[in-house]
Structure 1
């Protein structure tokens, strides 16, 4: 009589558990695996490739900041143009008509005339040079007076809106006022005569 071992009854295969809500659906990796994935060499093997990547990244950042200066997107602007105070200063300057922005193109035209006219009419050289000096120094004096009025106005408006006036903000506004409106960066976001926000 041969006795056979009775095989234990086979249990049904466990059903795959459905992932519970909010879970990752995979096991958490060990600390050793996470550190190995994060580890990068301090000095890369291919230096040319690293330089090329750095150059591309710098070019991309420069293009983004240039685009931001055109569109007024403050998140990507260079640091010297960011912040509500600087935006307010830009708006105050762009809302008024500044004498310097008109004077400098006119002064440039006068200088070109002063260079060319003596070649055509040499007898007018003395008269022309005297007139040019008077016009240029007079224009510069008017621009300085206008800048003093702008300085006083910026200080008053900034202290009303933000309290203490941050160092450099007034100078930032005066430098912007000297530039021709069309060539200002960041581009003006406000029209002449419009009240700054």
Structure 2
């Protein structure tokens, strides 16, 4: 197949065994040298690092489908412009874990009550945040599909600020 028809003329047709052997040899030949493989691996690694940095900066081309678009950017900025009890939930759980190791029942019960109280407040805050986000999106982007927008914002609000990805573009209290 790789040879042109002019190269095939003037010689006998190869036997099936010879044709198969020629295909096997060409397919098993090393495709590249170690240096080429190392260069390709380094280039791939550099591309991954650059793509990750672009994703963390919030570059639109590097974002996955769930984070793309002006509506999602608006929701991220809306959530990042405010403090939420949900972002403190993980540190509170850590403190609760430490207090449950204290051998006094008052500490153990009190810490568990605090944990469930913060969880309840976080869910209530998420419900109201979701409604606020949907109404703000409708004002800014009329006719936009709202499915999943509230949950997207609430889940982002439950992450600790420095652990969010893409990284927050605005500071707390800043207008966007």
Q: TM-score, normalised by structure 2?
A: 0.71
Where 2:145 maps in the other structure, the secondary structure is coil
Q: TM-score, normalised by structure 1?
A: 0.64
Deviations 1:99-118 (A, max 9, x none): 11123212212212322x23
Q: Within 5 Å, which residues of 2 pair with 1:1-197?
A: 46=30, 59-115=45-101, 117-118=102-103, 124=104, 126-162=105-141, 163-196=143-176
Gaps of 5+ in 2: 1-26
- Higher-Rg structure is 1
Deviations 1:104-155 (A, max 9, x none): 212212212322x23xxxxx1x222221221111111000010011100111
Query: Does structure 1 conserve the Cα–Cα contact (< 8 Å) formed by 2:99 and 2:107?
Result: no
Q: How many aligned positions are there?
A: 147
Distance 1:170 1:146 in 2: 12
Query: Does structure 2 conserve the Cα–Cα contact (< 8 Å) formed by 1:95 and 1:191?
Result: yes
Sort the Cα spacing of 1:167 and 1:52 in 2 relative to 1 into closer, same or farther, 3 A. farther
Query: Does structure 2 conserve the Cα–Cα contact (< 8 Å) formed by 1:100 and 1:178?
Result: yes
Sort the Cα spacing of 1:86 and 1:132 in 2 relative to 1 into closer, same or farther, 3 A. same
Gaps of 5+ in 1: 1-42, 119-123
Distance 1:59 1:44 in 2: 27
Distance 1:79 1:56 in 2: 27
> Aligned-pair RMSD on alpha carbons?
2.6
Comparing both structures, which one devotes a greater share of its residues to helix? 2
